[in-house]
Amino acid sequence: MLSSLTKKIGVKFKNKDLLKQAVTHRSYLNENRSYKLDHNERLEFLGDAVLELVVTEHLYNNYPNPEGDLTSWRAALVNGEMLADVAKQLGMEECLLMSKGEAKDTGRARHYLLANALEAVIGAIYLDQGYEVSKKFIMDNIVVNLDKVLESKSYMDPKSKFQEMAQEEEKVTPSYKVTKEWGLDHDKHFTVGVYLNNKLVAEGEGNSKQDAQREAAKNGLEAKGWLED
C-alpha cells in the first residue's frame, strides 16, 4: 500500500520509514507494542509549519491583497476539510495505521486523522527531500485548489456567506436559535436552527453554540442551493 502512496505522492523516499511513520496514528502503537517506529504527531507538527510557510509565501508573492484576505484564503487552503479531501485523493485512507477502534470511526474523527496524516507526510517529505520538494508537493496538491476556493468563496465563514446570500437572494437577514441542548457542563452539545423569515432552513450540531451555528449555516447553504460547484 505504501508503494502505491509513494507513486501518488511523486516522491522517492531515501528513508521509507519516514513515510510509514507519517501514516501511523498514536492509537496503533497501543495495540502493536513491538512496532519499532514512533507515531506521526511530531512529523505533523513540522509539516504544519512547512505547509503554512509555502502557502503564505505563494499568496504574498502573487496577490497584492490586504492581510485579511490572504489570511482567509490561507485558512481555506489549510483547513482540516481541505487537507482530508487531498489525503483521500492520494489514497492515504487505505494506508493509515490505527487501532481497531479508530478504524471503525468514519465520520469527523477520520477526517481529522487524515488531515493530520497529510501534514505528517509533508513533514516527512521535508526531512527526507528538503524544502523545494515539499514545496512542489504542496503546490501540486493543495495550492492548486486556490482558484476553486476563490471562485466558490469557500474562504468565507459559512455564517458570513449564508448572510450574504440570504440578503442578496431573499432580502432578509438570517437568525439562529438553539433547538436542543444536552450533555454535562464539560461536554455540552447543541443543535441550532438557522431561520429565514422565521422559517427553519437547516440545523447544525456542535460542541458550542458558535460551532452549531456554523454547521447550520453550512447546511443552510446546501439546502438553499447556494453552494457553487
Please write the tens of the pLDDT for every residue from 126-178: 999 999 999 999 999 999 999 999 988 778 788 888 998 999 999 999 999 99
φ and ψ of 37, to 5 deg: -100, 165
Total residues belonging to the chain: 229
Q: Write the pLDDT tens digit of every residue in 39-72.
A: 999 999 999 999 999 999 999 999 999 998 898 8
Sorted by where each begins, the domain ranges of the chain are 2-151, 158-223
| Residue 228 reports pLDDT greater than 70 | no
Element (H, E) at 217: helix 209-223
pLDDT digits 0-9 by tens, 75-105: 889 988 899 999 999 999 999 998 888 888 7
- Active-site residue set: 48, 119
R_g over Cα of the chain = 20
Grid coordinates of 156:
468565507
Q: In the prediction, which pLDDT does 161 show?
A: 85
Element (H, E) at 116: helix 108-129
Beta carbons within 10 angstroms of residue 128's beta carbon: 18
116, amino acid identity = N
- Per-residue model confidence as pLDDT tens digits over 169-208: 999 999 999 999 998 887 788 999 999 999 999 999 988 8
In contact, 205 and 216? CB cutoff 8 Å: no
Residue 128's alpha-carbon distances to 37, 41, 78, 121, in angstroms, are 16, 17, 22, 10
Are the C-beta atoms of 202 and 222 separated by less than 8 Å?
A: yes
All cell numbers assigned to 28: 496503533
User: Which contacts of 158-167 are long-range, i.e. CB under 8 A and separated by 24 or more positions?
Assistant: 158/214, 158/215, 158/217, 158/218, 158/221, 159/213, 159/214, 159/217, 161/217, 161/221, 161/226, 162/194, 162/217, 162/218, 162/220, 162/221, 162/226, 165/221, 165/224, 165/226, 166/196
User: What is the fold, at CATH topology level, of the domain defined by 2-151?
Assistant: Ribonuclease iii, N-terminal Endonuclease Domain; Chain A (1.10.1520)
Q: Which grid cell sits at 58?
A: 505563494
Dist CA 22 CA 123 (whole Å): 8
What fold, for 158-223? Double Stranded RNA Binding Domain (3.30.160)
What's the pLDDT score for residue 229? 45
Q: Which residues pair with 181 in a beta bridge?
A: 190
CB 123 within 8 A of CB 129: no
Q: What totals of helices (H) and strands (E) does the chain contain, helices first?
A: 12, 3
Residue 111 banded pLDDT, cuts 50, 70, 90: confident
Equal CATH topology for 2-151 and 158-223 = no
